[in-house]
Chains A and B, each alone.
Chain A
Amino acid sequence: MNASALKWWETIQIAWSKYTAYRLNFFLQVLGPAFVFFFIKYNLWSAIYGGDQDILIAGYTFQQMITYHIWAMIVGLIAQGHTALNLAEEIRLGKISTYLIYPFQFWEFHTAHFIAFQWLQVLTSAVTVLLLALMSLLTVPSFALILTGLTYCLFVSVFWFALQYLTGLLGFWLEETWILRVILQIMTGFLSGAIIPLDFYPEKFVQFLNYTPFPYLTYFPIKIFMGEMNQIGSAYGIMAFWIVLLWLANHLIWKKGIRLYTAAGM
């Protein structure tokens, strides 16, 4: 292993240890919200369908609706689980000075953390799918569909990481960046089909949404897992466009922000 790869590997290992050190905290912070969200949705849709589980509501039977929400939970865990919780604080408290003198850059450190987090999320998701299948709540799709869905989710997670990284970098100018993160989460939850399928939304509104990245974050990957999506190529293309755009924005913001950086506390 060369020196650069070794640095990445060590950092990923340290990040993994950090995430798994406080297991209860990890469960409550990352997994708990996803499970509670699914619990509410399961109960809500049970109440909506009542005793008649075969009726179609916006094209969904009860079982299809539950399957949709199970995959929404899994997609949420893999594609949108990561948060740049400490990034702005590191900028504000002057902690990034360390990265400026170490031979491992700021973005590399955070990307390594993101990779470790993603491993953990994929494992957790695999266990969740297995448990739900054992409880007969979910029919596990074919291996090819799982692989296609997982690959796309990991691609979306890169977009999500770049977006989170961008909000964190705004810490060069803003006192608090968590507000932006929460706004993003609320908007994404609502506009991506994570709360209810986009088939429930007014048609013109959905047409408008298709020009934004939101449907490609949750609705599209869910439909991939459900075996109802054929436009995977265009979804990849749109996501790739946004990832490149965010990468350029992050690069620019970092260059501008670092000029303002005062290394507080040094």
Chain B
Amino acid sequence: MGIKHYAQVYRGFVSTSFTEATSFRLNFLLLIIMDLFFYVSVLATVSFIFDHVETIGPWNRTQLMFFMSFMLVIDHLHMTFVSESFWMLSTHLKTGELDFTLLKPVNSIFSVFFRHVRPSSLCNIFVTWGLLIYYGRQVPLTTLDWVLLPPLILLSFTLLCLIEFIIASSMFWVTEGLGINFLRMQIQQLSRWPDYIYGILSRKILTIALPVLLIGSAPVHFLFDKSRYLPLGGMVIAILGSFVVLRWIWARGLRRYDSASS
């Protein structure tokens, strides 16, 4: 089973998600509004703080707004492509519906975490990328930076997903998985601010043991200062390490799964 097979399966996932989402038009609209409210609240909060201070740590208003827009793009990708699946996993583990997913002839990590796409969030792509381009021009980014931006976003998104997949895998060990989803969201919250706001110990823990601070800070620091390439290297290592940990913990989780419906 190669990439072509997985691409066909994913096309099916996307197609069914679109059919489902367009059946409930008001929900579709409300999800767009929800995301927009979130973007406004994040950016306005930072803007209001900067009305009273010149800098936060080493960054000025434009730099921090660029960082926030960068994280909103990551959040947008996350909301569109994976977020829905986490909530379904906790339900499927409780009801035993995961059986049907495990029976499918594709890797179960793929079929669990990429099963649901949120088409409504896709509509906000112009907003998040528009903000990123707007603040990127204000920083201003060089041509090289603009070329590097998409692969860096992809790296950040990959790391965020892997960390969240690992956290979500712990649902196999608890009776009620809903709380794990809230833990996952809190971990995501920590990554939404630049690493320099945290104290030395917290920063070390959140960069090395649980590398959430690498998600946004490593690529943005690198874009602003090319001599700061080490965290970016750390990010690649974190992605590889997280992938290994995920496969190991997922295999152990599946062995523990006792299929509630059977």
Contact = CB atoms under 8 A, between A and B. Distances in A.
A174 B53 CA distance: 44
A47 B30 contact: no
A29 B179 contact: yes
- Count chain A CB atoms within 10 A of each CB in B49, B56, B196 and give the residue with the most: B49
A186 B52 contact: no
Nearest to B185: A33
Contact of B179 (A22, A174, A180, A186): A22
Interface string B186-202: 10011001001111001
Interface stretch (A37-45, A71-79, A236-244): A37-45
Chain B interface residue bracket vs A: 35 or more
A139 interface: no
Contact of A175 (B24, B174, B183, B186): B24
A3 interface: no
Nearest to A201: B48
Given A182-B34, A183-B33, A183-B37, A43 B174 contact: no
A48 B48 CA distance: 13
A44 B193 CA distance: 8
Chain A interface residue bracket vs B: 35 or more
Contact of A47 (B27, B34, B57, B183): B57
A195 B45 contact: yes
| Chain B interface helix/strand/loop/mixed | helix
Contacts of A182: 34
B24 A180 contact: no
Contacts of B193: 40, 43-44
Contacts of B51: 200, 202
A24 B198 contact: no
Contacts of A138: none
B56 A48 contact: yes
B166 interface: no
A202 B189 CA distance: 26
B189 A43 contact: no
| Chain A interface helix/strand/loop/mixed | helix
Contacts of A39: 190, 202
A127 to B, nearest CB: 19
Interface string B29-40: 011011001101
21 contacts: A22-B176, A24-B179, A28-B180, A29-B178, A29-B179, A29-B182, A32-B182, A32-B186, A36-B190, A47-B196, A47-B197, A48-B56, A180-B30, A186-B38, A186-B41, A189-B41, A190-B45, A195-B41, A195-B45, A196-B48, A200-B51
Interface of A: 22, 24-29, 32-33, 36-37, 39-40, 43-44, 46-48, 57-58, 174-176, 179-180, 182-183, 186-187, 189-190, 195-196, 200-202
Given A175-B24, A187-B41, 6 more contacts: A25-B175, A25-B178, A28-B179, A46-B199, A47-B57, A57-B53
